[in-house]
Chains A and B, each alone.
Chain A
Amino acid sequence: MRNIWAILLRELKVYFASPIAYVFTAVFLIVSGFFFWSILQMFNTWCMQAMQYPQYAGQLNINEMVIRPLLQNMSVVFLMIIPFLTMRLFSDERRTGTDELLLTSPITMNQIILGKFFGALSVVVVMLLLTGLYPLFAFQYSSPELGPVMSGYLGLVLLAACFIPIGLLCSALTENQIVAAVLTFGCLLLLWVIGWSAESAGYMTREIIRYLSLTDHLEDLAKGVIDTKDIVFYLSFSAMGLFLTKMALESRRWR
């Protein structure tokens, strides 16, 4: 536990001692801020229309029409920035030879992997906390339900917890950060769009693909439904990624 903490702390120091974390947070805030603003614009026009046709006013819901799309858009932004957040985690250790320091210390591979995983996840959580400003803004002018907002955020953290191990795995496979980032992006994109192919497939395949699609599970959470099935899915997906990372790192030593 103490070892995981040591690794985590070092990763955070590196993130926050260099421009990396700040650039990430700034970009993330600006992009999601832009999404928030444009969604709000749209919502505004709907409200205007609703004033003219009062019979539609009942269908307006700030949770569904503003906060949910906002969270979904943020998950797309994750797709773009997480590869950059995770690319250096193992490839850089390998390139500079510092993995020799870690692996010859009384610390296990699991602890190293978990330390780096939680390090990257903490940066994501910090970014998400800052974007909390946007829903807060919505609370000022309207009265959305708190539950779906919270569960939506939980969903985003879980999503990041699935993305980061993929980044770690790719970073463990190469000494080159750029290769790691591109590889991660490719994998994430593939996982993202796999849901689209579900429509044309047969029933069984469709259900399997649906189950594997990371985004389908997010939808329930964004609606405010916390289903243990979704949470178990995310956690086991994440654990699987971490396990594969460990395999990749171990196998490299045997070569």
Chain B
Amino acid sequence: MIEVENLGKKYGNNFAVRNLNFSVKKGEILGFLGPNGAGKTTTMRILTCYLPATEGSARVAGFDVFKEGLQVRKRIGYLPENSPLYREMSVTSFLDFITRIKGVPRRKRKDRIASVLDRCKIDEVKNRLIQHLSKGYRQRVGLAAALIHDPEVLILDEPTIGLDPKQIIEIRELIKSLAGDHTVILSTHILPEVTQTCQRVVIINEGKVVAEDTFEKLQERLRKAERLSVRVKRDSSIVPQKLASIGGVVSVAPIDAAPGGYIVESTLGADVREEVARIVAQENWGLLEMKPMVMSLEDVFLKLTTEEEGIPSNQES
């Protein structure tokens, strides 16, 4: 449904995103996960035809976002970051305006408005001016506007930001209920959000895709362990044996490309560096190199928000 190929966007002289590749299947909910400034909003703006890409291409529902923008825009519902709204309008007249510019046929307008008012639970504020609504309600009005023409594809930029825990759960349920008929991309920097709502995750950092997989597989890749890369000058078969005998070490694996190089994996929290150094010196193997290995994926995870106050983290779907 959505295919992104080598997408890149330059602001001035700097690339905000570069060489992005990912795809979303029909009916799937894809989480777009990344820390602040990763390029989530930029990517979404390109997909919704708001910004032209500097390089690469993207297709939504089979249409090129650049060449066939009108066709793409007909098929997407978009909740921009911070959900910008016409503050001086009332909720109903705002939604009525949106139905018009989204091309909802006249006789369906009333029904569609009633349906999203109900679905996003904003019926009780429908006659209020948007500027008098709280942040959470504004967010829901923005979501209602994105849903109003029942689009095939939904692109939601941080849909739950600014909501209270109860509302967050409601909105996530709402998004989950869209799967199947709708293809959804939602961006977030909150880890539990994707575990609870999304079937697949694309993790981006500094404008690049770091990983793309189901969440379970990603967690597998992120084995809860610490890794150390060690390289010695005088390698022999007893080196791995000795290293493996150090307390806390789980496994020792040779690095194929580097003779005398090993990856020492130890349990989380155990710092084996001192012990490794001592043994290498004691056996006179000649220590060439020793450094902790941090996978880039882990790096990204460290920057993400991993816990949410007030929402049980084991709330499984």
A interface vs B, CB < 8 Å? Answer: 2-3, 5-7, 9-10, 13-14, 17-18, 96-98, 100-108, 253-255
Contacts and interface: CB of A to CB of B under 8 A. Distances in A.
A106 B102 CA distance: 6
A14 B86 CA distance: 10
Given A13-B89, A17-B88, A98-B86, A107 B101 contact: yes
B84 interface: yes
A244 to B, nearest CB: 20
B82 interface: yes
Given A14-B86, A101-B98, A105-B73, 13 more contacts: A7-B101, A18-B88, A96-B87, A97-B82, A97-B84, A98-B84, A98-B86, A100-B50, A100-B78, A102-B101, A106-B70, A106-B103, A254-B52
Given A253-B52, A254-B52, A101 B100 contact: no
B82 A105 contact: no
Contact of B84 (A100, A107, A108, A254): A100
Given A6-B100, A10-B97, A103 B49 contact: yes
Most buried by B among A6, A100, A255: A100
Nearest to B75: A106
Contacts, number: 71
Interface residues of B, number: 28
Q: Main SS of chain A's interface residues?
A: helix
Interface in B31-83: 45, 48-52, 70, 73-74, 76, 78, 80, 82
B85 interface: yes
A39 B84 CA distance: 49
B74 A106 contact: yes
Contacts of A10: 86, 89, 97
A103 B93 contact: no
Nearest to A108: B70
Contacts of A14: 86, 88-89
A253 B66 CA distance: 13
A135 to B, nearest CB: 35
Q: Which 8 A-B pairs have the closest CB atoms?
A: A97-B84, A6-B100, A106-B74, A104-B48, A100-B80, A105-B101, A106-B73, A98-B84
